Amino acid sequence: MSAQEEFDCIVIGAGVQGSFTAYQLAQRKRRTLLLEQFVLPHTRGSSHGQTRIIRKAYEHDFYTQMMEECYELWAQLEREAGVKLYRQTGLLIMGPEKSTNFQMFRNTLVNNKVPMVTLTSDNFSQHIPNVVLAAGDGAVVDVSAGVLYADRALKTVQEQFQKLGGILQDNEKVTDIKPGPIVTVTTSSRVFRAKSVVITAGPWANKLLVHTGLNLPLEVVKINVCYWREKVPGSYDVKRRFPCFILTEGEESKEHIYGLPSNEYPGMMKICYSIGSRTDPDFRDQQTNRSDIDILQRYISRCFPGLFPEPAVVESCMYTMTPDSHFILDHHPTYRNIIIGAGFSGHGFKFGPIIGKLLCELSQGDAPSYDLSPFQISRFLDKPKPAL
């Protein structure tokens, strides 16, 4: 590869979103370069770790509708690579039955005819042993939900991209972007040029966008990824089809507790809180706040009697939050050949294949396959105030 070479597209950031975007571009025979600042694989961004939840249960129809095709695309990648990436477990949604948030989850499942089961306080423990349903809480199960094998998925999509002729360059940090009809991308060691650039830099998005004169309202938070030991090994095991779960709390959709059955560390369930503490991605480990763990301990003591209420393993990951928790999928407001995929707000992994398709479409000037109005940058720009 010569640094003078001109690419059809350069994708910056080889997390789940950049890797799927690069793969989609290579499938369309576009000459594509995927740049990653760290040596791969790494654990410093948002896409590492062995598992993520995949679900159609959402508060908004547009996510549920995108997930229809997304399940297909995950299955397609599994077939193409001959690798298993998804395991069906179902997703149990619990929350104050009358709360707007819980009702929105349930209504979306009903309206989109997603296979679901409603549990009542009478039959709950028959179906879900070892969990206490709080008084006043409702419970529904999104049947087709399950677990995605995250690290394996990332490795697979990057390999498929390379098999299609794509160039993946890790240990190559982008230090400057010069917009223009041909965009110039400078890295720690070279200079590249491309007709279009896709920025999928996760928590580092604003650090890169500064080179293009843009600052998005993104907040990076550190999440303590906690694993809780089972008192009786196997009680919450993926092999026994124990489901993933989400506990919606209050009226704020941002605030929830979620968990995945024991899988990566035998005899330990992964349970996390969705609100983290603000951090700088380059100094993540200096953030040592554990108030989310206190909240989890209280919840586990109350509702998961089969777990020791003390985390046995704590790892770190980051969310990049937007003010409304919806993604950013858009052209740069000034430079149309710079595309931005950012602010995945802690729920973007499952959408990887469809985000890749959409960012590829935007970079090629094609009409996007879905209505992207919920994801536009203009929603953050000041709206004119009505005249008094």
Give contact residues for ligand FAD (rule: CB under 6 A).
Answer: 12-18, 35-38, 45-47, 52-53, 173-174, 200-204, 208, 223, 225, 272, 317-319, 344, 346-350
Q: How far is the CB of 157 from ligand FAD (least distance, A)?
A: 11
Q: In Å, how far are 20, 275, 288, 311 from 292, measured between CA atoms? A: 31, 7, 11, 12
Distance CA(269)–CA(250), nearest Å, equals 24
Residue spans of beta strands (DSSP E) within the chain: 6-12, 32-35, 51-54, 86-88, 91-96, 116-119, 137-142, 146-149, 167-169, 174-178, 183-187, 191-199, 219-230, 244-248, 256-260, 268-273, 277-278, 307-321, 328-331, 338-342
Q: 109 vs 209, which CB is nearer to ligand FAD? A: 209
Q: 247 vs 272, which CB is nearer to ligand FAD? A: 272
Q: How far is the CB of 319 from ligand FAD (least distance, A)?
A: 5
Q: 243 vs 348, which CB is nearer to ligand FAD? A: 348
Distance CA(253)–CA(242), nearest Å, equals 24
Q: In Å, how far are 111, 274, 290, 342 from 347, measured between CA atoms? A: 21, 10, 21, 12
Q: How far is the CB of 286 from ligand FAD (least distance, A)?
A: 17
Q: Which residue is nearest to ligand FAD, using beta carbons?
A: 15
Q: How far is the CB of 326 from ligand FAD (least distance, A)?
A: 12
- Look up tokens 């991308």; give the residue: 185
| DSSP letter for each residue of 288-304 | ---HHHHHHHHHHHHH-
Q: 143 vs 197, which CB is nearer to ligand FAD? A: 197
Tell which residue, 141, 158, 8, has the closest CA to residue 77.
Answer: 158
Q: 166 vs 202, which CB is nearer to ligand FAD? A: 202
Q: 40 vs 133, which CB is nearer to ligand FAD? A: 40
Q: Are 226 and 242 in contact (CB under 8 A)?
A: no
Tokens of 74: 């995950």
Q: 121 vs 370, which CB is nearer to ligand FAD? A: 370
Tokens of 197: 């650039």
Q: 17 vs 99, which CB is nearer to ligand FAD? A: 17
- Please, which residues have CB within 8 angstroms of residue 141's CB and are 6 or more apart in sequence? 90, 91, 92, 93, 116, 117, 118, 119, 127, 243
Q: Are 41 and 153 in contact (CB under 8 A)?
A: no
Q: How far is the CB of 48 from ligand FAD (least distance, A)?
A: 7
Q: How far is the CB of 107 from ligand FAD (least distance, A)?
A: 21
Tell which residue, 181, 173, 160, has the closest CA to residue 80.
Answer: 160
Q: 54 vs 119, which CB is nearer to ligand FAD? A: 54
Q: How far is the CB of 204 from ligand FAD (least distance, A)?
A: 3
Q: 89 vs 121, which CB is nearer to ligand FAD? A: 89
Tokens of 174: 């982008």
Q: How far is the CB of 185 from ligand FAD (least distance, A)?
A: 9
Q: How far is the CB of 384 from ligand FAD (least distance, A)?
A: 32
| DSSP letter for each residue of 128-153 | STT-PPPTTEEEEEETT-EEEEHHHH
Distance CA(50)–CA(214), nearest Å, equals 33
Q: How far is the CB of 201 from ligand FAD (least distance, A)?
A: 4
